[in-house]
Amino acid sequence: MAAQTEDHRRSFMVGGAEMPARPLPPALYLVATPIGNLGDVTLRALETLAAADVLACEDTRVTRVLLSRYGIRQKPVAYHEHNAAEAGPKLVAALAEGRSVALVSDAGTPLVSDPGFRLVEAARQADIAVVPIPGPSAALAALTASGLPSDAFFFAGFLPVKAGQRASRLGELKAVPGTLIFYESPRRLADALAAMAEALGDRPAAVCRELTKTFEEFRTGTLAELAQHYAQAGAPKGEVVVCVAPPGAGESTDAADVDRLLLSLAAEMGASKAAAEAARLTGGRKPDLYRRLLELKGDG
Ligand code: SAM
């Protein structure tokens, strides 16, 4: 595992001034980095990046941009979902030898829809200290500026790509008593918003795009309005977060929702399995739902 050499001067530059980076106690440091605006980095994050014996990152090219902006001389090593099985044990071994390891992802907070969970789990199992260095995350930036309730929220990450699995997942999330936060690909945004409107009801929502960047944008409306907008306007450029208001904020929870759920599940699986899944998601009785599905399909 590559590490800093003895002659490596541990420092970083802020506003033209060179700041010394003090030695770090051995631990795994989870360092949050900017989600677009390179100014959004904490002094503690910079000091940790400069001082760590080993700096592990998803994509060394991406992280070098940040390092170079702040004059940090480091040789980052790769740790990403494709090499985690091989790179993870090497990082744990470096930690076990008493070295400090900093982990960053391409942007935002590591482990938040990004690699790192297995490494933290392994470090904890080996009794190695794990230290968060908090900072930006697109989820919280979106939530706080969305205008939706922020007292309780649920981070749902990326939805499944397949329509049936997406409908099931949304069915599970329907009763969550807080604002829902999703990461979504711009290409799938219009479809995902339409699926949310169908499964959750037509709740108020916000599409938060290009956070902290030049073309930052917040578009608010109901899920159906937003779905229609993006179906017409096409996939937006850049990165997006979708925030959806909690239940009770405008959605209908009538039998039509259950019918739609049954039909979308039946498109992906047999009638009996669809009825069982709908029963699990809605709390209804499987025999009733099975009968209703047959009626809807004209077989009942
Ligand atoms: N770990 C990151 C974090 O803490 O936010 C998230 C990484 S995840 C692989 C990438 C997703 O985060 C994007 O697809 C998008 O949904 C969201 N995202 C990241 N940066 C963003 C930004 N500047 N504006 C809007 N969404 C962003």
Q: Give the residue numbers spanning the domain of 176.
A: 139-244
What distance in angstroms lies between residue 246's CA and the mean position of ligand 1's atoms?
Answer: 22
Pocket of ligand 1 (CB under 6 A): 35-36, 105, 107-109, 112-114, 137-139, 183-184, 208-213, 239-241
Q: Does 151 map to a domain?
A: yes
Q: Is 97 helix (H, G, I), strand (E, B) or coil?
A: coil
What distance in angstroms lies between residue 92's CA and the mean position of ligand 1's atoms?
Answer: 27
What distance in angstroms lies between residue 49's CA and the mean position of ligand 1's atoms?
Answer: 21
Q: What predicted TM-score, i.e. pTM, was given to this entire model?
A: 0.83
Residue 279's pLDDT is: 66
Residue 251's pLDDT is: 46
The last residue of a domain, from among 244, 265, 287: 244
User: What is the CATH number for 123?
Assistant: 3.40.1010.10
Tokens of 126: 């080996």
Nearest ligand 1 atom, CA 212: 23
Which residue CA neighbors atom 2 of ligand 1 most closely?
108
Tokens of 203: 């709740």
What distance in angstroms lies between residue 215's CA and the mean position of ligand 1's atoms?
Answer: 15
Residue 8's pLDDT is: 53
Closest CA to 178 of 194, 161, 160, 200: 200
Residue 4's pLDDT is: 53
Nearest ligand 1 atom, CA 110: 1
What's the structural domain count of the chain? Answer: 3
As a whole number of angstroms, the distance between CA 201 and CA 180 comes to 13
Residue 252's pLDDT is: 47
Nearest ligand 1 atom, CA 112: 1
Q: Does 6 map to a domain?
A: no
* Cβ(201)–Cβ(253) below 8 Å: yes
Nearest ligand 1 atom, CA 182: 16
As a whole number of angstroms, the distance between CA 201 and CA 148 comes to 16
* Helix 117-125, helix 84-96: angle, nearest 10: 40
What distance in angstroms lies between residue 234's CA and the mean position of ligand 1's atoms?
Answer: 20
The last residue of a domain, from among 108, 136, 164: 136
| Mean pLDDT of each 10-residue bin along the chain, 300 residues long | 56 96 97 98 98 97 98 96 95 98 98 97 98 98 98 98 97 98 98 98 98 98 98 98 88 66 84 78 70 82
What distance in angstroms lies between residue 150's CA and the mean position of ligand 1's atoms?
Answer: 19
User: What is the CATH number for 230?
Assistant: 3.30.950.10
Q: Is 263 helix (H, G, I), strand (E, B) or coil?
A: helix
Strands (E), the chain: 11-14, 17-20, 28-31, 54-57, 77-78, 101-104, 130-133, 153-158, 179-184, 204-209, 217-222, 240-244
